[in-house]
Amino acid sequence: MAQMTKRERLLATFAGQPVDRIAAALWRHFPGDDQRAADLAAATLTWQAQYDWDFIKVSPASSFCLVDWGAEDRWVGGDEGNREYTHRVIRQPEDWARLPLLDPGAGRLGDQVRCLELIHEAAGDCPFIQTVFSPLAQAKNLAGGERLLAHLRQTPEAVHAGLEIITRSTIRFIRACLPTGIAGIYYAVQMANFTLLSGQEYREFGEPYDRRILAAAAEGWFNMVHLHGIAGMFDLVAAYPVQALNWHDRESRPSLGDGLRRFPGAVSGGLEHWTDLLRGTPDQIHAQVAEAIAQTNGQRLIVSCGCVAPVNAPFSNLRAIRTAVEP
C-alpha cells in the first residue's frame, strides 16, 4: 500500500478501512512552557519533530481555562507535569452564579488561541487538536473535588448555574479555536467515574453539558474523548458523537479489544504511562503494542497511552512506539 498522509491514515482508521500502518501518538505536559503561548507552541512542535506522531494533541495546563476566572496554581514538580492549585474560585454555593462569561479573545484563553495559530503556521499537514476540559472537570478545579461534590448534592441548582456559564464560555472558546485550523478537540472527561458519581448524577450534571460542547466541536473532523481514571462510565461516553475514544485501558475495564466492540470509532490506547512508558523498556513497549494490535486485529486502532506521557519517560521508550508501528 502506498504511504498515506497523516490525515488519510486517521480518516481510514476511524472508518475501519485498510491503512499503510497503525497510527500512533503520545502527548505530554510542558510545565513552565505551558504558561506562555509562544513557549507552549515551541515545546509542542519540538515534541512532534522528535517523534513524528500522527497528530498533535495540544496540552496546556488544566488551569488555562480557569485563570481568567481567578484560579491560581503553581508548578511544584512531578512526573506527569501537572500543576498544583493554590487558589480556588468557588467557596460558597452562591459563587457559582457569580462566574462571568469569558471572552475567548482575551486573557489566558486568548493566549491559547494564539498558541494554536503558531502551531498551525509551523505544523505543515500534521493534524492538531486542542485540549478542552469538560464543564464538570472545570468545575472540579474551580471548587476542589470535595467541595464540588458537596455543592452538587446539597445545592444542585447553584452548580447547574455555574455549569451553564462554564459551558457557554467553553463553546465560545471552541468557536474561536476552529478558525486556527484545528482538526478538532481532545475532550477531557474527568468526573464520569463511578468512584466519584453515580450514573444518574453524571447524566444530570455531566452528559447534557458534554453534548453541547461536542455539538460545538462537530465542525471538526477529528474529535477525541478522553475518559479519565479507573471505573470510568465507558458506555455512557462511548455513545458520544466523536471519532476516537481514549481511556486507561491497561489499568481498568474494558480492555482495548472489548472497547472496540462497544464503540464505533477508533480506540486509542495500548500503553500504560507508569509501567510501560516510565519504567518499562523498548522491548516491553514493542510487546505491548503487538498485543494491542492483536486485540483489535489492527483495526480502528490508534496506539497511545491511557493518559499523558510522563515528562521524564526514557527517550528510547518513546522512540520504540514509533518503530513498533512501522511495517
In order of start, what are the domains of the chain with their CATH numbers?
A: 6-324 (3.20.20.210)
pLDDT of residue 224: 98
> Which positions of the chain have pLDDT values less than 50?
none
**Residues 303/250/209/174 CA torsion (nearest 10 deg):** -30
pLDDT of residue 23: 98
pLDDT of residue 184: 98
* Residue range 210-257, pLDDT digits in tens: 999 999 999 999 999 999 999 999 999 999 999 999 999 999 999 999
R_g (Cα) of the chain, nearest Å:
19
Compute how many other C-beta atoms are within 10 angstroms of the C-beta atom of residue 247. Answer: 28
pLDDT of residue 1: 87
Closest residue by Cα to residue 175 from 109, 226, 123, 238: 109
pLDDT of residue 327: 86
pLDDT of residue 317: 98
Cβ neighbours of residue 121 closer than 8 Å, sequence gap 6 or more: none
CA distance 134 to 149: 16
Q: 207 vs 119, 175, 312, CA distance in Å?
A: 31, 20, 35
